[in-house]
Amino acid sequence: MSDDIKANKTVDLKGQVCPYTFVRSKLAIEKMNLGEVLEIVLDHKPAVENVPKSMENEGQKVLKIDQTGEKEWHVFIRKDKEKKK
Amino acid sequence: MEFTEDQILRYSRHIILPEVGGDGQEKLLNAKVVLVGAGGLGSPVGYYLAAAGVGTIGVIDNDRVEMSNLQRQIAHNTKRLGVLKADSAKETYETLNHDVKVVTHKERLTSANIKGIIKDYDIVVDGSDNFPTRYLVNDACVMLKKTLISAAVFRFEGQVLSIYPGDGPCYRCLFEVPPPAGMVPSCQEAGILGVVTGVVGTLQATEVVKAILGIGDPLKGRLLLWNALEMSFRIVKVPRNPECPVCGKNPTITELIDYEQFCQMSH
């Protein structure tokens, strides 16, 4: 786990596969404020590549990806962009 | 809002889109759209709006399903012959998506009832098959400032125009008055390739969804013409007419008009 990055919100998406890993991460970050950090817990390997890539496509900042177990990753995303309403 | 598990799955391909997202899906679920007619055009419009999760869909139609409708009117089916089209469409759309509430208006639109019906909706979709209704809907939408997605089909062709009253032309800016009765082809002469209503209705549905989400460029002041045989799309820029009798500076039409219905078949 990370010492230097503090998450404002954590979504546990273990057991979830693509594209729902991204769908659920996106729904979570939409409700957050700019500058806040979302922690996403994943156990689906392809999602560890895909979710950060999709988040970057939407203008969010990938801060860190920690592998904490053989099949467990923690992805930290900072909300940098608010969709125009 | 919090999406249910089913909604996350159902709308996942919308939510993924940067231009839609969860908040866009919420706009769709909160939107109220009314269809003028559940026929060739209205059927696919309502079908896709229901699939998209447009929360309230009004259906104005007082006809019953006939065998000759089924070559193009995909909201209905053979088991529903004789059923009111509004009820048939409600069954189809609500079965597709339980998030959708279909409100039926089983009456013919007139100058007396139209404003009361459309006032509660955000967007009006014209899928009518006759000029009196087309002009009535245009004028009422201008007067109530309702966004109107207008379309028409004929044989192998179709046209679409999105009308934002006060901002871009209305139908009368293009065609000031209905054509004289003798100029209108009879129902028998006209004919329509069934799939043409599907393409044009789906284009209308696209304009509705864009309007709800506030994305892209609408067909505002741009008349889209499509020809199925040539498989050609053309866009003609159409200006607002400052002298338009209904949306111009000094409107002469301030009350709704019931033009006489005419179909040469009945003569």
- Structure confidence by residue, pLDDT tens digits, B52-102: 999 999 999 999 999 999 999 999 999 999 999 999 999 999 999 999 999
Single-letter residue type at B81: L
The rounded distance, in Å, linking the Cα atoms of A29 and B111 is 48
CA distances from A70 to A13, A16, A43 (A): 16, 16, 9
Please tell me if residue B2 touches chain A, with a CB cutoff of 8 Å.
no
B20 is a domain residue: no
Please tell me if residue A58 touches chain B, with a CB cutoff of 8 Å.
yes
Does residue B246 or residue A85 have the better pLDDT?
B246
Query: What is the number of structural domains in chain B?
Result: 1
Mean pLDDT (chain B) is 95
CA distance B184 to chain A (A): 45
A3 is a domain residue: no
B7 is a domain residue: no
User: What is the dihedral sign for C-alpha B247, B251, B255, B260?
Assistant: negative
The rounded distance, in Å, linking the Cα atoms of B215 and B208 is 11
Confidence of residue A72 (pLDDT cuts 50, 70, 90): very high
Query: What is the number of structural domains in chain A?
Result: 1
B50 is a domain residue: yes
Is B185 a residue whose pLDDT tops 90? no
Select the residue from A23, A25, A54 to test the B interface by mutation, using most B Cβ atoms within 10 A: A23
CA atoms within 13 A on the CB side of B202: 9
Paired tokens of A12: 């546990």
Is A27 close to B8, i.e. CB distance below 8 A? yes
Is B153:B160 a contact under the CB 8 Å cutoff? Answer: no
Q: What pLDDT sits at residue B190?
A: 81
Please tell me if residue A27 touches chain B, with a CB cutoff of 8 Å.
yes
The rounded distance, in Å, linking the Cα atoms of B60 and B42 is 10
Candidate from A23, A54, A85 with C-beta closest to B8: A23
Domain that holds residue A21: 9-78
Length of chain A: 85
B156 is a domain residue: yes
- The predicted model gives B212-221 an average pLDDT of 98
User: Which residues of A are known to be catalytic?
Assistant: 18
Paired tokens of B176: 């000031």
Is B183 a residue whose pLDDT tops 80? no
The DSSP code for B2 is: P
Whole-model pTM over 0.80: yes
Is B113:B83 a contact under the CB 8 Å cutoff? Answer: no
Is B265 a residue whose pLDDT tops 90? no
Q: What pLDDT sits at residue A3?
A: 61
Q: Where are the alpha helices (H) located in chain B, listed in sequence order?
A: 5-10, 12-15, 21-30, 42-52, 85-96, 114-118, 131-144, 171-174, 187-190, 194-213
Candidate from B15, B18, B23 with C-beta closest to A23: B15
B202 is a domain residue: yes
The rounded distance, in Å, linking the Cα atoms of B149 and B121 is 13
Q: Which CATH number characterizes residue A66's domain? A: 3.30.110.40
- Structure confidence by residue, pLDDT tens digits, B126-142: 999 899 999 999 999 99
The rounded distance, in Å, linking the Cα atoms of A53 and B226 is 39
SS3 content of chain B, % helix, strand, coil (to 5): 40, 20, 45
CB contacts, 8 Å: A19 with chain B: 12-13, 16
Position of tokens 């923690």?
Answer: A74
Is B264 a residue whose pLDDT tops 80? no
Is A27 close to B18, i.e. CB distance below 8 A? no
Domain that holds residue B116: 31-266
The rounded distance, in Å, linking the Cα atoms of B207 and B148 is 10
Is B187 a residue whose pLDDT tops 70? no
Query: How large is the ipTM?
Result: 0.88
Does residue B263 or residue B180 have the better pLDDT?
B180
B18 is a domain residue: no
Paired tokens of A82: 């608010």
Q: What pLDDT sits at residue B126?
A: 98
Is A83 close to B23, i.e. CB distance below 8 A? yes
Q: What pLDDT sits at residue B203?
A: 98
- Structure confidence by residue, pLDDT tens digits, B134-182: 999 999 999 999 999 999 999 999 999 999 999 999 999 999 999 887 7
Paired tokens of B261: 């219905």
Is A23 close to B21, i.e. CB distance below 8 A? no
Is B118 a residue whose pLDDT tops 50? yes
A24 is a domain residue: yes
- The predicted model gives B257-264 an average pLDDT of 74
DSSP B14-55: HHTSTTTHHHHHHHHHH-EEEEE-SSTTHHHHHHHHHHHT-S
Q: Which CATH number characterizes residue B95's domain? A: 3.40.50.720
B182 is a domain residue: yes
CA distances from B246 to A38, B57, B86, B173, B255 (A): 53, 27, 30, 8, 9
Q: What pLDDT sits at residue B267?
A: 35
Q: Which of residues 28-47 of A touch B (CB under 8 A)?
A: 30
- Structure confidence by residue, pLDDT tens digits, A5-53: 899 999 999 999 999 999 999 999 999 999 999 999 999 999 999 999 9
Is B266 a residue whose pLDDT tops 50? no
